[in-house]
Structure 1
């Protein structure tokens, strides 16, 4: 539909608000397209290139536009959360491509995988380093964005960032996987970002205007919980109490989310089935990285 409406070209008679809304619709479709293609193993429909629209305008500047005003010129354009989100989704596309390679290839090229993971991890870290101080995750910024009306967008942005790290490193939780140079460190990084994801969910509960209430967060919480479960089963005994508390916190969040999205019940049931299967299994290979696990982590 976005292609049929030719949202990229726009219309000369449109005022600034209309042009910006069309850009935001196109980029929203682009993000949804990337997410949907990952879980459903579908070909992406929207591509960035020479004809892509300008990235979304900084949120408050957009909200302050008045009907009939001209479009903001490129020289006055400022990046906001949505524009950074687009940059982050470009990295996620490459993570998806790596996951597709892993499930489609019977003989893994460990050097290629290791180099690709290392490069993507470095770019994710560099991406975070380029964020301005107003976009770094902190209690002060949560409160500020909550007051501005961008609290939930801010929270969703940071939850997504942690999720991309988790799916990038998830393969290293597979205990049947051949030992690699950085495999153990990457497995620990996966667990670290699962804990950070849990921390974000817990912290933002203090700000109702910033609480994560979008349906997609239920799926990401399941992925986080599956990583925490791995640590609960195979981690150090000193971490058991903390990991159990985080699992319970994630479940409490999903139960609350179910009030707004009844479909979350299906996700909770899926998580419970996975948890029971892992706990009852006599094998240490509960997180085998196969086609099912790739689908589980992205759908």
Structure 2
């Protein structure tokens, strides 16, 4: 168990850098600064991959699930800005966008595993926030992904909803977390859905300031009524 603390500390240190980078990247940046951000994202992505590659394979149970839940959560935060279509698309940024989508799906699958096998449940409050972030990415995949990606994303959205339902009796504060997801869905359904992923100050607050309420900033445009959305109470 002591060895796992070292892995946790390393992971939290990487998260600190991801958080700082996300706050700097939110405003509109000239192309040369975007390229600099891309390089920093690549560096931090390699740090996360190295952390995962060196994690002891024999470690299982709740701590294993909790640490890897954090790993996928931080990968989503790192690559989330590449869901913003206003960014210039390159081979690298397209790959980063896929990394974000794959991490959201892996996060959902990981949290479903303890429930499916009946052990090592992860029932702490922070899982609620990371599940909301995962759901927002999965919603993007369900709306804009390739045909073979849509069904797995929709299934993962349903699994995430079950997770939030299971967490709610333990953590009444999750009502705020679920409302945050509801606000995000409103950005998608009451406007131009793709603009809901603009990486602006609202989005940074949505990703990082999970203890605060959010202003209901919504995009304008045609509603997306043909998408099976993540159910919100």
Alignment of 1:92 with 2:28, yes or no, is no
Find the structure with the greater CA-based Rg. 1
Of the structure 1 ranges 180-189 and 167-176, higher mean CA displacement relative to structure 2 is found in 180-189
Aligned partners of 1:190 and 1:235: how far apart in 2?
Answer: 12
Q: Give the 3 Å change call, closer, same or farther, for CA 281–97 of structure 1 in structure 2.
A: same
Pick from 154, 173, 182 the counterpart of residue 83 of structure 2. 173
Cα deviations by residue, 1:251-298 (Å, 9 ceiling, x for unpaired):
111011001001112211221231233133235222000111111112
Match of 1:82 in 2: 5
Whole-angstrom CA distance in 2 between matches of 1:174 and 1:105:
11
Between 1:276-285 and 1:216-225, the stretch displaced more is 276-285
1:274 and 2:211 correspond: no
Distance 1:206 1:293, change over 3 A: same
Aligned to 1:48: none
Q: Which runs of 4+ in 1 moved over 4 A?
A: none
Higher relative contact order (CA 8 A, sep 6+): 2
CA distance in 1, matches of 2:53, 2:151: 32
Are residue 216 (structure 1) and residue 121 (structure 2) matched?
no
Task: Report whether the alignment pairs 1:123 with 2:72.
Answer: no
**Residues 169 and 254 of structure 1: CA distance in aligned 2, closer, same or farther (over 3 Å):** same
Q: Does 1:239 align with 2:162?
A: no
Q: How many residues align?
A: 208
Unaligned ranges ≥5, structure 1 = 1-58, 60-78, 136-140, 142-150
Distance 1:238 1:280, change over 3 A: farther
Stretches of structure 2 that go unaligned for 5 or more consecutive residues are: 211-233
- The alpha carbon displacement at 1:211 in A equals 0.9
Counterpart residue number, 1:24: none
Structure with the higher helix share, 1 or 2 = 2
Does residue 193 (structure 1) correspond to residue 103 (structure 2)? The answer is yes
**SS at 1:178 equivalent:** coil
Instruction: Measure, in 2, the Cα distance between the counterparts of 1:283 and 1:173.
Output: 12
